[in-house]
Amino acid sequence: MTEGIAPVLSVRNLSYSYENGKVISFPDFEVSENDPLLITGNSGTGKTTLLHLLSGLLMIQKGEIIISGSELKSLSQKKLDKFRGRNIGLVFQQPKFIGALSVLENVLTAQYFGGGNVDSKRALSLLAKLGIEDKADKQTRHLSGGERQRLAIARALAAKPKILLADEPTSSLDDVNADIVYNLLAEESKENGANLIVVSHDQRLKANFENTVNL
């Protein structure tokens, strides 16, 4: 890998046609090392579709997405799963977890499926940094809304991904909490060596990003 020259992520000529025949074309963009990106757009502009394409949950029909030198389109389903586990951490709008597992076990599961080492020390230190280490052995349903957000971030970073993809992380929050969550995302992604990409229609976030793409 030629670091500093090759972008972490580059999107070219990407478009997606839905089952109902509707086609969405996405603008080209690139993300380089330590360069957080905000992807904005109103409902119906294909934000979630782009997010799923970027994380390999949807198969690319046309165009290309290159992450750290790998073209997603050329990967088999199985390799794509592995690639996603290793390289991409996802934070969803509604933080949800595996109900059968404790807080710590949810983080460990992300490490396990991420293909890295199951490292409970690292998992615990992540929880500690996010201020929820005392909940490590609790069931996730006993967490408050804020704690769930934090756990979702810890889980997304558990397997040391190159990219942290966050889907509408702040839209349902008030100004104070939106700020807290954004700061957590920005700090933790930086500290863990992950490039932050936020997909959101939340206009408040715009001030925080130099690099933005509008759909």
Partner 1 sequence: MNIFKLSFKNLLASPLRSLLTLIILSMGVALASLLILVGGALDDSFKKNIRGIDMVVGAKGSPLQLILSSVYQIDNPTGNIDLAEARKLAKNPQIKETIELSYGDSYKGRRIVGTSHNYVELYNGSLNSGQLWEKPFEAVLGADVALEFDLKIDDSFYSSHGIDGMGHDHEDHPFIVVGILEKSGSVLDKLILTTPESIWEVHGNHAEGDSAQSQEITAMLVKFRNKMGIMTLPRVVNQQTSMQAALPSIEVNRLFELFGLAISTLQIVAFVIMGLGAISVFVSMITALRDRAYEMAMMRSMGASRGQIFGMIILEATLLGFAGTTIGVLLSHAGIAFLNKYANEQFGINIAIWQLTPIEWYLVLATILLCIFAAIIPAIKTARLDVSKVLSSYEN
Is residue 77 involved in binding partner 1 (CB under 8 A)?
yes
Within residues 175-194, the interface with partner 1 by CB under 8 A covers: none
> Which range of residues in 103-111, 180-188, 190-198, 202-210 is near partner 1 by CB under 8 A?
103-111
Contact between 24 and partner 1 (CB under 8 A)?
Answer: no
**Interface with partner 1, residue 155, by CB under 8 A:** yes
Structure tokens given for 53: 């394409």
Q: Which stretch binds partner 1 (CB under 8 A): 27-35, 64-72, 104-112, 190-198?
A: 104-112
CA distance 184 to 129: 10
Which residues ranging from 80 to 99 are in contact with partner 1 (CB under 8 A)? 81-82, 84-86, 90, 92-94, 96-99
Q: What does the block give as tokens for 149?
A: 């957000």
Q: Is 127 near partner 1 (CB under 8 A)? A: no
Closer residue to partner 1, CB minimum distance, 168 or 202: 168
Q: Does 58 bind partner 1 (CB under 8 A)?
A: yes
Query: Which SS3 state, helix, strand or coil, does residue 147 take?
Result: helix
CA 44, CA 56: separation in Å to the nearest integer?
Answer: 20
Which tokens hold the place of 45?
Answer: 């502009």
Verify binding: residue 162, partner 1, rule CB under 8 A.
no
| CB contact set of 119 (below 8 Å; sequence gap of 6+) | 111
- Candidate list 6, 10, 30, 57; residue touching partner 1; CB under 8 A: 57
Runs of H (alpha helix) within 16-172:
47-54, 77-87, 103-113, 120-129, 145-157
Structure tokens at 126: 């992540």
Nearest-5° Cα angle at 125, 56 to 148: 60
SS3 102: strand
In the complex, least distance from residue 145 CB atom to partner 1, rounded to whole angstroms: 16
- The count of chain residues that interact with partner 1, using the rule CB under 8 A, is 36
Contact range with partner 1 by CB under 8 A, out of 3-11, 33-41, 114-122, 182-190: 114-122
Q: Report the residue from 15, 113, 177, 201 that binds partner 1 according to the rule CB under 8 A.
A: 113
How far is the C-alpha of 153 from the C-alpha of 91, rounded, in Å?
A: 6
State the Cα–Cα distance between residues 30 and 10, nearest whole angstrom: 4
Residues that bind partner 1 (CB under 8 A): 48, 52, 55, 57-58, 77-78, 81-82, 84-86, 90, 92-94, 96-101, 105, 108-115, 118, 155, 159, 167-168
